[in-house]
Structure 1
Amino acid sequence: MKHFFVLACCLFSASSVFSQNEKLQDSTTVPTETLDEILVTAVRVQATSPITHSNVDKATLAKRNLGQDLPILLNYLPSVVTTSDAGAGIGYTGIRVRGVSAQSTNVTINGIPYNDAESLGTFWVNLGDIASSVESLQLQRGVGTSTNGSGAFGASINVLTDAVSKDAYAEISNSFGSFNTRKHNAKFSSGLLNDHVEIAGRLSIIKSDGYVDRASTDLKSYFLQAAYVDDNTLIKAVVFGGHENTYQSWNGIDKETLEDDRTYNSAGIYTDEDGTVKFYDNEVDDYQQDHYQLHWNERYNNNWSTNLGLNYTKGSGYFEQYKEDESFEDYGLNNVTIGGETIETTDIIRRRWLDNDFYVINANANYKNEFVNAIFGGSYSTYDGDHFGEIIWSKYASNSEIRDHYYDGNGKKTDVSLFAKATYRLNTQWSLFGDLQMRFVDYKTTGIDSDRTPLNIDEQYSFFNPKAGITYELDKNNNMYFSYARANREPTRDDFQNNPDIKPEQLNDFELGWRHEKQRFKFNANVYYMHYNEQLVLSGNIDDVGNPIRTNSGESYRLGLEIESAIGLSKGFSIQPNVTFSTNKNKSIYQSFNGELKDFGSTNISFSPDIVLGNAIVYQPNDALQISLLSKFVGEQYMGNTDSEVSKLDSYFVNDLNLTYEIKMESIFKAIVLSGVVNNIFNEKYVSNGYYYTYDDTWSDPNVITTIEGAGYYPQATTNFLVGATLKF
């Protein structure tokens, strides 16, 4: 009965997908951007652009920002599905948009690419509490507009960090909750000194034991900026980063364990000499990442503005593992002979390291008048990453020496993109959009991988990514749009490692939309058709460190309808719906099964539910108090591409209750903000992520190959809570 009630609510109410201050631009005006906004002009679109998007502002994020990672805070946006390895939304978290993984979601921070150059993934765990330093973000679904860095195959997320504050302020925030979770941060701004200079910053600590056993998280992060601003110039130096230490929870659990002990974590398990099962206490991922950015924005007049951005990112860290009965040969070591007995295996503790440097330069110019808004520019990045492994302890040392590397590899990648895009207003009703991008990628690797196998990649790609669209304004309350966009995307390092013949993927994206807005009612609807050639889809398998293994799927497509709205029922009560109905198909899948190559025909694309519903019922009787019921329904999905019942994830329905209350003060503090969230209020036992695997068994009969299927699951937390207070000075 409870599921029926909340599902009914979902049909009428959904996520907070609209920023309260997002308004359709009047067709006769030329909006003037703030100097801070010029940082992201090249990668963002305006409200009436023929690009499907959602905007999220600082105030919207703040209401739920009690320690959970940024992807979790975006969970209620259209077509979004999120997951957390530790189960509680802190640590390693992931986001999928329209069924496409984070590896295919382009992320920029102040226009600077954030995706890892080799894995193409985004690891928010390295930037703990980044949500506290976000001024605004825009989520573009589909290919979107041309952006910097890797191509967008499901979405792009561009983040603008804190804007320059005219007034001085300070804030201290503390929150506590389930699983021994706590977050502490302090923010400040000097305001404009002498009307031109601002110094601002943030320090944060987030810790949690996690819902899953031992899946603890320890995040330390910072954000500092120094800015010079006058009427037409903004020069901003931004330094931010973080250090994460998380106990691994990559392995997942099987179906039987899910039913009997859903918080079980096998990471770090070993058996001591007495046969006692134990867990290694330092089976952790430990990584430090620091970003140094310099931005110079110049507005010459109401028509011309330019932006120059420089970036250096330093990343270094490892994950540590206790491994039992490892072969000396696998580590390039000699067998050990003791008392005439030859010993071929040993217990070890190993660290796999990544040490990388990433440089970026962005430059673009923007010209606009009442008819034309044109942007052109480019981006150049270079990446140099070392991969190596160390044995820090061994039961039998053999011929190993301290700090010896048992493997060494290097990856180098350059990425050059040039683009030109423009919106041309034909008249008060019609406008045209065009966007051309050339992208050149050069990727080389040397050395051996963690399996001590040579990994020699030398690939160059030249991608042409055209985009075009048209917008028709029926009247001041309605506009319609149609767009076409092409994207090309290179494989990752792991893709090459798992399949040397892996191919780049291509996407042709068609979007048809209608936007309607009146004073207390807003409605967006769009139909999309995304046609892929050689799409790299998640196979459902993972490697030995939890990375998903992808494979080319030939031709495939995603066809969907997205609907979102915001309805003000009264002055203090609103509902905000979104729903996505889609069909996501591989046109033909061939896979070895029972020793034969089998044609599975048309199948569902992995991790692509046919229905995703969101919900936000918001009650705000005054400016001080807001209460929200947030709901999310995700339909059943497959973790592989053969429609095997073993690979199916059940649908789930999760509901959160969020409350914020601000107390205005006249002395000591300017205000005290109290906030809280109860996640999963109906105690749903659900799984949002997992993996599917197969292997050939010949044990019972060497002459008969039998394919064995299996699955692993990442359970999410049952009912849990977070409460916090922010003191504003």
Structure 2
Amino acid sequence: MKRSIFLLSMFGASILYAQEKDSIQNEDHIHLQEVSITEKLPITVEKLSEKFLQKKNLGQDVPTLLNSATSVSITSDAGTGIGYSSIKIRGLNEQSINVTLNGISLNDGESQGVFWVNMPDMVSSASSMIIQRGVGTSSNGMASFGASINIDSQNPSPIPFAEANVSFGSFNTQKYTVQAGTGKILNNKLSIDGRFSKINSDGYINRSWSDLISYNFSALYEVNSKTKFRFQNMFGREQTYQAWNGIDGETLKNNRRYNTGGEIQNEDGEVVGFYKNHTDNYTQNHYYLSWLQDFGSNWKSNLTVHYRKGKGYYESYKNNRNLSRYKLDFLSSDKRNLINREYLDNDFYGFNLDVENQKLNDFKVFFGLSGNEYDGDHYGNVLWVKDTDWNNKDFKYYNNRAVKKQLAAYAKLLYSIGRFELFGDLQYRYVSYEARYLKNGENDQEDFRPFSDKFNFVNPKAGVNYKINSNNVFYASYGISQREPLRVDYSGITRNDEKPKSEFLQDYELGYKKSGRFSMSANLYYMDYRNQLVPTGELNDVGTPIRKNSKTYRRGIELDASYAILPERLNVFGNLTLSQNRNKDYSEGSWDNDGNYSVKKYGTTKIALSPDVISSFGFEVYPTKNLLLNFTNKYIGEQYLSNTEPADGKLSSFLVSDLLIRYSPNWLNLKKLEFSLLVNNLFDVQYESNGYYSGGGYYFPQAGINVLGGISVRL
């Protein structure tokens, strides 16, 4: 069976998955042309158009909508792609992926991850996404340590419109979206768009429900053809039931939908119920104000100031907990069941300045400068303690603050000489990161210790294009990227008093791109890491992977292609990644019962949660002009849950198929009327997409066959 799946994947790779090259609706985008030229640079890049993104947009998160892109693998805590979901590219998760919205970083200042659940239905306001694999080209935000995802939001429509989208599906999933735009008003100078979305789902895993709300407001004011201002406010609010514990192998066999989160246990450790408010609650509000200026002589600039406010908490039921951890050891017992909250209250603000000239003789030049600060307060309190009269909800059993300041600058140059294009890119990045206790906030039993670090990173990149003609290009590139540790990495130093080191990457890419009716790309890559912080396989108590420094490499070949057998009627597509992801000399330390620390060496091992084979393939057909059938398959090879390659900690390979049917009749002179039916996991495969290792394997099962149906109307 596995051999058949692998051969099928190889076949899929011979026919690509090149995404549609649709033009963006509004050409007067607030971004500079640097965004559009990214596809033409000597880097490994893939563009996902608005049409592609909206095709399956029936309520699932961004990672699920990007699942068919090259070298991408995804997972979902709830098993449905709604709620907490994440994406990996080349085996690297969001902590190594630089994600930006209109050039502004979406990565969290401390975890460096992206929490898509905080931005539900963001795709409904996106015009395109560009995925750069490898180091790519310098951009704002954190360092790209494996890939970049650059998201462009839609500009306000130049013509008035109103649109409604409604979706329903399995697990009581519901999505409601309404959008409207004024078109150009005030002497054609101002245009305003707004969107409101609400998404609910019970989830596949027991009690993994999601209650999500978001809105997006954008306004474009065109003073004249040279000067434009754009304002955007993007808001998201999420409440989800915690489902990040996973289940062990035995439970997986007997009850794969079981969720240990919220268990209420009696004195004998027996589960007697579940706490209904064992939830994650978070609100995030983004504000962007941009000034786009054309100075003449092809010099253009874009200055954006931004502010993001985030605040929320985990509310959790804890069984048989040591009260000393919560500074409550003055109560009558050492251990009690209790309910606590862990808060995060943060602000992120700064500016980005980009300047370009793409017609400076044979040169195209780009400059950028950005500065930002992240201030994050972390604190916790206890709401209830069993069999006590505790009611001091304002008492903080831990209280600390982190401040992270960044300053970055880059310069890029593209020079054309004959059939060659030479590309150079130099980035400087300064990071100051400090975390300390606040007044009375010390707690030596919490997973936190004060720390302070500063970094100066210089990241050069270079590449060359060789154009056989406009449709056939060979390219090669080399780049360096360096990155600071995360908060969770500093938390681990209490185990062996070894401070985490900053990471260093050298990335080599060699590729070929062909466009046309038959489109394809192929590239070889070698990513050589020094002190990469790799997941050990363990998680902390809020589901974050624990990591340690290791010398590693990732190397492979990526193929993708598509062929329009019958233009505008039948298209076949596929992509394939074959890779090796290895620790060069892996070791792990441990403490024995006598307090002695020892190190065990494992030598060359596979990096945890990094599949060697990733593939997507299928076909798209229009039986009639208004009817679309899209059949897409996704194959992921086996993965170890730990760098020690444990026999009892492995994710099996899987092949999952999705079918999309979309009908767009021309009724009632509507601008758009669409009926969609999406059947996920068509053949009801039982599989697990993620896991961790803690004395044995723990797994995150995904849903079997499930459906989503939707109606979209635009006036």
Report the counterpart of residue 199 of structure 1 in structure 2: 192
The within-5 A match list for 1:495-506 is 495-499=489-493, 501-506=499-504
1:215 alignment partner AA: S
Partners of 1:48 and 1:336 lie apart in 2 by 66
Report the counterpart of residue 124 of structure 2 in structure 1: 132
Partners of 2:82 and 2:126 lie apart in 1 by 18
Q: Among residues 348, 361, 376, which one is paired with 1:358 in the alignment?
A: 348
Q: Among residues 375, 399, 421, which one is paired with 1:431 in the alignment?
A: 421
The within-5 A match list for 1:67-466 is 67-193=59-185, 194-229=187-222, 230-272=224-266, 277-301=272-296, 303-337=298-332, 343-369=333-359, 371-397=362-388, 401-427=392-418, 429-447=419-437, 448=442, 451-452=445-446, 455-466=449-460
CA contact 1:10–1:631 (8 Å) conserved in 2: no
Partners of 1:470 and 1:498 lie apart in 2 by 41
TM-score, structure 2 length as denominator? 0.94
| 1:365 positional shift | 0.6
Secondary structure of 2:251's partner? helix
Relative to structure 1, the CA distance from residue 495 to residue 2 in structure 2 (aligned partners, 3 Å threshold; closer, same or farther) is: closer
Partners of 1:138 and 1:287 lie apart in 2 by 27
Q: Among residues 663, 666, 675, which one is paired with 1:664 in the alignment?
A: 666
Report the counterpart of residue 340 of structure 1 in structure 2: none
Secondary structure of 2:253's partner? helix
CA contact 2:560–2:574 (8 Å) conserved in 1: yes
RMSD: 2.1
| 1:659 positional shift | 1.6
| 1:83 positional shift | 0.4
Partners of 1:604 and 1:682 lie apart in 2 by 30
| 1:392 positional shift | 1.4
Question: 1:22-81 CA distances to partner (integer Å, 9 max, x unpaired)?
Answer: 79xxxxxxxxx9441525x55664332101011011111111000000111000000000
CA contact 2:347–2:375 (8 Å) conserved in 1: yes
Question: 1:242-292 CA distances to partner (integer Å, 9 max, x unpaired)?
Answer: 100000001000011111110000000013589661000000000000001
Relative to structure 1, the CA distance from residue 224 to residue 575 in structure 2 (aligned partners, 3 Å threshold; closer, same or farther) is: same
Report the counterpart of residue 505 of structure 2 in structure 1: 507
TM-score, structure 1 length as denominator? 0.92
1:214 alignment partner AA: R
CA contact 1:362–1:378 (8 Å) conserved in 2: yes
Report the counterpart of residue 686 of structure 2 in structure 1: 685
Partners of 1:111 and 1:634 lie apart in 2 by 31
1:129 alignment partner AA: D
Moved more, 121-130 or 300-309: 300-309
Partners of 2:443 and 2:110 lie apart in 1 by 14
| 1:692 positional shift | 1.1
Report the counterpart of residue 697 of structure 1 in structure 2: none
Partners of 2:382 and 2:199 lie apart in 1 by 30
Partners of 2:34 and 2:328 lie apart in 1 by 53
Partners of 1:153 and 1:359 lie apart in 2 by 23
Q: Does 1:59 align with 2:59?
A: no
Partners of 1:452 and 1:566 lie apart in 2 by 52
CA contact 2:9–2:635 (8 Å) conserved in 1: no
Partners of 2:23 and 2:175 lie apart in 1 by 30
CA contact 1:173–1:724 (8 Å) conserved in 2: yes
| 1:17 positional shift | 3.5
Question: 1:656-714 CA distances to partner (integer Å, 9 max, x unpaired)?
Answer: 001211122345x3331111210000111001100012xxxxxxxxxxxxxxx311100
Secondary structure of 2:512's partner? strand
Secondary structure of 1:645's partner? coil
| 1:402 positional shift | 2.7
Relative to structure 1, the CA distance from residue 656 to residue 10 in structure 2 (aligned partners, 3 Å threshold; closer, same or farther) is: farther
| 1:5 positional shift | 7.4
CA contact 2:264–2:273 (8 Å) conserved in 1: yes
CA contact 1:57–1:136 (8 Å) conserved in 2: yes
Q: Does 1:649 align with 2:657?
A: no
Report the counterpart of residue 19 of structure 1 in structure 2: 20
Partners of 2:48 and 2:564 lie apart in 1 by 18
Partners of 2:635 and 2:416 lie apart in 1 by 40
| 1:491 positional shift | 0.6
CA contact 2:39–2:47 (8 Å) conserved in 1: no
| 1:497 positional shift | 0.5
CA contact 2:562–2:571 (8 Å) conserved in 1: yes
Q: Among residues 561, 564, 569, which one is paired with 2:560 in the alignment?
A: 564
Q: Among residues 618, 633, 638, which one is paired with 2:620 in the alignment?
A: 618
Gapped regions of structure 2 (runs ≥ 5):
593-597
Partners of 1:616 and 1:201 lie apart in 2 by 35
How many residues are matched?
A: 695
Percent of aligned pairs sharing the same letter: 40
Secondary structure of 2:381's partner? strand
Report the counterpart of residue 704 of structure 1 in structure 2: none
CA contact 1:173–1:184 (8 Å) conserved in 2: yes
Gapped regions of structure 1 (runs ≥ 5):
24-32, 338-342, 694-708
Report the counterpart of residue 538 of structure 2 in structure 1: 541
Partners of 2:471 and 2:520 lie apart in 1 by 10
Partners of 2:417 and 2:193 lie apart in 1 by 43
Partners of 1:535 and 1:51 lie apart in 2 by 22
| 1:516 positional shift | 1.6
Relative to structure 1, the CA distance from residue 623 to residue 153 in structure 2 (aligned partners, 3 Å threshold; closer, same or farther) is: farther
